[in-house]
Structures are given as structure tokens and as C-alpha cells.
């Protein structure tokens, strides 16, 4: 069994740099800053399949707890109330969830609805004075994302984006290999993000609800991954779209986009976003002194990876359990994650995705605004 101690010994990192593991300790060892209750009390908004996965994962959280739901479907609310023993007073509809403002038993709302609804819902939750955790992509474009960041700031609540990979141990081990210099200077990142999508009638293939196609849903993993694997912000993008099935993938819903990014150091990224291929989900990072391959790199199941030094050895965890405990640490105890998950982190990805869609349209390289000053 890999204990926290042996893991830390193996990866030669300090406990302080491993907040994602802090949930294995009593939370109050980690901070003296918690002014609210010791456990983050979360309501989930949108009770689709991913919400089910998050709720199940939260059953083993030590610092976060599912306490309520927001849904448009009364039968789902009934089902969840029974399954998770939720009090009636913590269950809301889309019509009345502003009333959450007066509910002291809820600290944060995790929005897991279609992308096109995130902005409006985030604004409403912020106005109700609750912290927002918003699933990725945080919005359908940078304009909305900016609005969300501003609204949460104005309301004095925090906005976090559901970047579960930012807390995944092998991902952090890979990042640690880079930051410790063991790869030398990073030169090249390759990200393959995609799967063959099924049901043509799902909201993910509806422009109004999804804001786009594969890029919004799965390509964003390579956009975001390029940034945390290289440890830099891109300065330009280029992109090429391919559509083989215009009936399934309608106007504005991208099936396959190849895209490239350039970084200030001269490092480059080459990525694929697709809804029409399986056996992808691979990250590769090449540096002057070594390299890392992760495959699968962002799926829900165990992440696997190897570097020029050997296999990555950080423990297998349930991503959403670790994510929610870590987010409790951020929201309640002012902890800082190794890779940010705040609204500005999400905004950067939305700015890049806007530029990618522009590059597809114009078939030209698109310069990015300075992302480091956001």
C-alpha cells in the first residue's frame, strides 16, 4: 500500500506542496484560517450523469459534504433526497434557488449544467452570496467568463472551476518533474483529447447549450493541459477544423479541430480535439533532458504515465473526491493549489478557445492577449 509518507519519499516533494493529499489528515492540521464550519457544505445544481459521479465521490470526502440539490426535475430531487439523506429545505428548483441566500447550511453551489447556462447561473448564485464551483468549460466564451469573474468578485464570493486534473496525483507528479528541472527546458507538448460521441440528440451537440462541440467538452483538456504541463501561457494559436459528419455536427458544433500553440520560451504545443475518434487521451511532454507520456491523461479512470526516469508512481485516487476536499481547503481554509482552479484560470482557457475558433474561421494564426496579467 502506498502511504502518504512513502509517496512523499518517492516523489521527493514536501508535504507543503501536496495540498491534494491533505484530506488524509485532520483538516485542522493544515490551517488556522477556517472561519466557517470545518466541512464545505455543497449543493449540486443539475442532476445529470456527471453530478451523479461527483455525489458518489463526495461520499468519501473528509472536508466536503453534499447537503443539497438544485434541479428542474421534481422526481430527481425526490430520488436524491432519499439516496443522500438531504433535508427538504436544502432542495431547490431553477425557479426558487435565489432563496439559497438565506440558507446557512449551504456554503457553495457546484454548477453541473449545460455550458450555455453556466454564466447566468453563476451570476445568480453569486448574488445569493454563495461560493460557486462551476464545471468546465466555465462558459461558452471569454465575454461570459469575464462577467462571471467580475460578478463573483463584486459579490465577495469565490469562483472555482471544476478542473479535477489539477488535484490528480500523477498529474501533479508530472508537473513536479518539470518544476524540479528533471526534464530540462520544456520544448514540446502534445495533447490528444477525444472520444467517439454517441447519442446525436444530447445537449453536448446543441450549439445553444454547449457553446460549440468537442473543443468545449474535451479539447479544453488539451488547452488547459498544455498550460500546466509546459508551465507557461501561450502567445499564439492556430487551428484547423475537419467535419466528416455535418448532420451529427451541425453549424457551430465542432467535430474535430487540430490546434497548435506557441509559448514565449519557444516551446510549442500540438493538440487534437475530437468527437469522432477513440483511443486518444494522451499527453506527451518533451524537454531538453527528458520526457513524460501520460495515457490515459485526463479520463476518469486511473491515470497512467511514465517518464524517462520510469513509471509515475503517485497513488490512484477518485478524482472528484480529491478535488472536492481540495476545493474545501481553498474555499474554507485559504489553501493554494499547485495549479490554480479559480475563475481567472478558467477565463484564460476561454480566451484561448475564442482564439482557436477565430483561427479555424480565418485559417490564420491568432495572437493572444497577455494571459499572465489576467
Contact residues for a second copy, defined by CB under 8 A: 187-188, 190, 192, 238, 240, 242-244, 256, 258, 260, 262, 265-266, 268, 270, 272, 274, 276-280, 286, 290-291, 308, 363-365
Quote the CA–CA distance of 71 and 94 in Å, as a whole number.
Answer: 6
33 contacts 97 by C-beta, under 8 angstroms:
no
Given 27, 92, 110, 221, the catalytic residue: 221
Respond yes or no: is residue 130 known to be catalytic: no
Residue 314 DSSP class: P
Q: What is the dihedral of CA 107, 113, 119, 123, to 10 degrees?
A: -30
**Closest distance of CB 370 from a second copy, Å:** 19
Q: What's the CA gap between 19 and 16, in Å, rounded?
A: 7
Nearer to a second copy, 59 or 363 (CB): 363
Cis preceding linkage at 296, omega within 30: yes
CB of 232 to a second copy, least distance (A): 13
Q: 47 or 230, CB closer to a second copy?
A: 230
Give the CA angle between residues 8, 17, 317 to the nearest 5°: 60
CB of 306 to a second copy, least distance (A): 12
d(CA 109, CA 249): 32
List Cα–Cα distances, 314 to 12, 281, 324, in angstroms. Answer: 11, 19, 19
CB-nearer residue toward a second copy: 101 or 245: 245
The reply to whether 110 belongs to the active site is no
Nearer to a second copy, 105 or 279 (CB): 279
C-alpha 75: how far from chain center? 29
Q: How far is the CB of 352 from a second copy (least distance, A)?
A: 15
Closer Cβ to a second copy, 307 or 323, answer by number: 307
Which among 41, 124, 130, 136 is annotated as catalytic? 136
CB of 63 to a second copy, least distance (A): 40
Active-site residues, by number, are 136, 221
Amino acid at each position: 500500500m502506498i502511504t502518504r509518507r512513502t509517496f512523499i519519499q518517492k516523489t521527493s516533494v514536501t508535504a507543503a506542496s501536496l495540498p491534494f493529499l491533505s484530506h488524509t489528515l485532520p483538516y485542522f492540521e493544515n490551517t488556522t484560517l477556517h472561519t466557517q464550519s470545518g466541512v464545505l457544505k455543497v449543493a449540486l445544481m443539475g442532476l445529470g450523469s456527471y453530478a451523479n459521479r461527483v455525489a458518489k465521490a463526495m461520499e468519501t470526502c473528509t472536508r466536503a459534504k453534499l447537503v443539497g440539490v438544485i434541479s428542474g426535475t421534481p422526481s430527481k430531487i425526490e430520488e436524491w433526497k432519499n439516496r443522500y439523506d438531504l433535508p427538504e429545505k436544502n432542495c431547490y428548483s431553477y425557479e426558487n434557488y435565489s432563496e439559497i441566500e438565506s440558507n446557512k447550511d449551504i456554503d457553495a453551489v457546484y454548477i453541473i449544467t449545460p455550458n450555455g447556462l453556466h454564466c447566468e447561473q453563476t451570476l445568480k448564485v453569486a448574488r445569493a452570496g454563495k461560493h460557486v464551483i462551476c464545471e468546465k468549460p466555465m462558459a461558452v466564451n471569454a465575454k461570459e467568463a469575464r462577467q462571471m469573474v467580475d460578478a463573483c468578485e463584486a459579490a465577495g464570493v469565490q469562483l472555482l472551476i471544476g478542473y479535477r486534473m489539477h488535484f490528480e496525483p500523477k498529474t501533479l507528479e508530472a508537473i513536479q518533474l518539470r518544476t524540479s528541472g528533471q526534464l530540462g527546458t520544456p520544448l514540446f507538448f502534445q495533447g490528444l483529447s477525444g472520444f467517439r460521441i454517441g447519442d446525436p440528440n444530447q445537449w453536448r451537440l446543441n450549439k445553444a447549450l454547449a457553446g460549440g462541440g468537442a473543443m468545449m467538452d474535451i479539447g479544453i483538456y488539451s488547452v488547459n493541459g498544455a498550460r500546466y504541463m509546459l508551465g507557461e501561457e501561450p502567445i499564439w494559436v492556430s487551428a484547423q477544423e475537419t467535419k466528416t459528419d455535418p448532420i451529427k455536427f451541425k453549424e457551430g458544433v465542432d467535430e474535430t479541430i487540430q490546434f497548435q500553440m506557441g509559448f514565449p520560451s519557444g516551446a510549442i504545443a500540438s493538440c487534437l480535439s475530437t468527437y469522432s475518434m477513440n483511443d486518444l487521451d494522451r499527453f506527451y511532454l518533451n524537454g531538453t533532458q527528458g520526457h513524460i507520456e501520460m495515457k490515459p491523461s485526463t479520463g476518469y479512470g486511473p491515470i497512467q504515465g511514465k517518464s524517462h526516469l520510469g513509471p509515475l508512481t503517485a497513488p490512484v485516487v477518485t478524482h472528484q473526491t480529491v478535488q472536492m476536499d481540495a476545493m474545501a481547503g481553498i474555499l474554507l481554509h485559504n489553501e493554494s493549489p499547485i495549479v490554480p482552479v479559480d475563475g481567472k484560470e478558467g477565463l484564460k482557457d476561454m480566451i484561448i478557445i475564442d482564439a482557436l475558433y477565430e483561427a479555424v474561421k480565418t485559417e490564420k494564426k491568432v495572437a493572444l492577449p497577455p494571459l499572465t496579467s489576467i
